[in-house]
Structure 1
Amino acid sequence: MALLPFVDVKPQGETKAVVVWLHGLGDSGHGFAPIVPELRLPAAAGIRFIFPHAPEIPVTVNGGMRMRAWYDIKTMDLTNRADEEGVRQSAAAVTALLDKLIADGIPSERIVLAGFSQGGVITLHLLPRLPYKLAGFIALSTYMACPDKLTAEMLSHNKATPVFIGHGTQDPVVPLAAGQQAYQTFKAAGFKVSWQDYRMPHSVCAQEIDEISRFLQSRLLQHAEEL
């Protein structure tokens, strides 16, 4: 499997931790790259940001138009919105990228996986299925694929890993209830999920960015000075 291409935002000095951030439908790795300075993370943390590009595929609900997507969307019905085969293929591609980072010397517990919308679906799909522990997970304005298969497929590696779930109360693309359902499903399964909502549409806002920054610092700044 060829490694996913990505936008690479490196820290000023030595890399001590990595955030892998997955974009939404029709976007690219360039879409979220400008958020890095807005997070105002301490330079001493040495956090590298990787923003992978999803492959270009035909998307059914958009008339078969080719665009960057982590999976096809055949219907807007949330129960069947995420094409399971596509989700699993993208999850495998993201896992290969994480594997490469670990092989290159970044401990898995110094990596945070984040995703917005479709990217968040992949993030939440990997949360219970990765065979190693990460530092944290961030799932924004998103929902859950294959909730009925969680119990049968989940591993225990990230049961205690903090998960930040954020959603807009005025989201017309992914209803608030869909995000809440994902949160409740993972909470019931014993995962360490937290829920935040904001008065915004299908986007991010300044308050959410501030709370993401605090989350990243709580997960990655600890012990950074010792590395």
Structure 2
Amino acid sequence: MIHNPNNIRTAGKPLEASSKVMIMVHGRGGSARDILSLAEYIDDKDFAFIAPEAQGNTWYPHSFLRPLEENEPYLSSALEVLASLRARLQSDFNFKLPQIYWLGFSQGACLTLEFVARNATEYGGVFGLSGGLIGPPNLVRSYEGSLTNTPIFLGCSDIDPHIPKERVLESETVFRQMGANVTAKLYPNFPHSINEDELNVVNLLVAGAQ
């Protein structure tokens, strides 16, 4: 195991006292503490927030657009961290899957979206900020399961230096085919960061999921 699934930080309400939880996944070079700072922008105060931290602050070494095997065994270890976290929230804190929300930024968004596609079920919401499904162009994607009733938001710059807009739109199509309620927004000439409109959309989708 490259990444330690027990290397986590929390914010918001205590896990045992909350009715919903948001798993937040940091980007390359970021940290659990970094991504948890977004919790203060979530209007709903009933959330517990939990963030795993990657070994060396990077989930996998190369671009998410490289052949999958080039990012192994890091990618599989990173996906296993998210699986472990989801299982623990269900078993130890009795969260139902629709009470679990996902938010990732950059490399964390790519990892989160890939995990959700591979582990499709009804989640409370999935927010991929500056990210897309992992793998090289023209990869044949055959995910099993359904994301029916799951709101998914994909937000990204249309000129992001790391995330081609084509991958964001491809991810939108894949998630729609899996039954998710997808909102995708490309922001003209925006840098590789999170903007106020994206946080507004997250809050709208969280409010609509009540």
State if a TM-score over 0.5 links the two structures.
yes
Code of the residue aligned with 1:214 in structure 2: it is: L
Instruction: Give runs of aligned pairs for residues 92-103 of structure 1, distance below 5 A.
Output: 92-103=80-91
* Mapping 1:92-171, distance limit 5 Å: 92-104=80-92, 105-130=94-119, 132-146=121-135, 148-151=139-142, 154-171=143-160
Contact 1:128–1:159 (8 Å) recurs in 2? no
Say which of 191, 195, 208 aligns to 1:201: 191
Which structure is larger by alpha-carbon Rg, 1 or 2? 1
Equivalence for 2:65: 78
Identical aligned pairs, as a percentage? Answer: 22
Any stretches of 5+ residues in structure 1 without a counterpart? 57-67, 223-227
| Displacement after TM superposition at 1:186 (Å) | 3.1
Say if 1:29 and 1:53, in contact at 8 Å, map to a contact too: yes
Q: Deviations over 1:179-202 (max 9, x none)?
A: 222223333454432211224211
**Cross-structure match for 1:7:** 9
1:70 Cα deviation after fit: 1.1
- Distance, in Å, in 2 between the alignment partners of 1:128 and 1:176 is 19
Conservation of the 8 A alpha-carbon contact between 2:64 and 2:134: no
SS at match of 2:5: coil
CA contact (8 A) 2:104 2:127 kept: yes
Superposed displacement of residue 20, structure 1 = 0.1
Q: Is the 8 A contact 2:20 2:100 kept in 1?
A: yes
SS in 2 for 1:150: coil
DSSP-derived class of the 1:113 partner: strand
CA apart distance, 1:26: 0.6
Letter in 1 for 2:29: G
Aligned partner of residue 213 in structure 1, secondary structure: helix
Shift of 1:33: 1.8
3-state DSSP of counterpart to 2:145: coil
Give 1:49's aligned amino acid.
Answer: F
Change (3 A) 1:176 1:131: closer
One-letter amino acid of the counterpart of residue 88, structure 1: S
Which whole-Å CA distance do the structure 2 matches of 1:4 and 1:53 have between them?
9
How large is the RMSD of aligned CA atoms in angstroms?
Answer: 2.5
Q: Does 1:91 align with 2:94?
A: no
* Superposed CA offset, 1:77-114 (max 9, x none): 83438725422221111110110001121112100112
Q: 1-side partners of 2:53 and 2:124: how far apart?
A: 22
**Structure 1, residues 146-168: CA drift from partner, whole Å, max 9, x if none?**
473531xx222424422111111
Greater alpha carbon shift after TM alignment, 114-123 vs 12-21: 12-21
Aligned partners of 2:24, 2:172: CA distance in 1, in Å?
A: 19
- Match of 2:122, as an amino acid? K
Q: Deviations over 1:55-95 (max 9, x none)?
A: 12xxxxxxxxxxx111110xx58343872542222111111
In the TM superposition, what is the alpha-carbon distance from 1:48 to its structure 2 partner?
0.6
Q: Distance in 1 between matches of 2:175 and 2:96?
A: 25
Distance change in 2, residues 1:149/1:127 (3 Å)? farther
TM superposition score normalised by structure 2:
0.84
Q: Normalised by the size of structure 1, how large is the TM-score?
A: 0.78
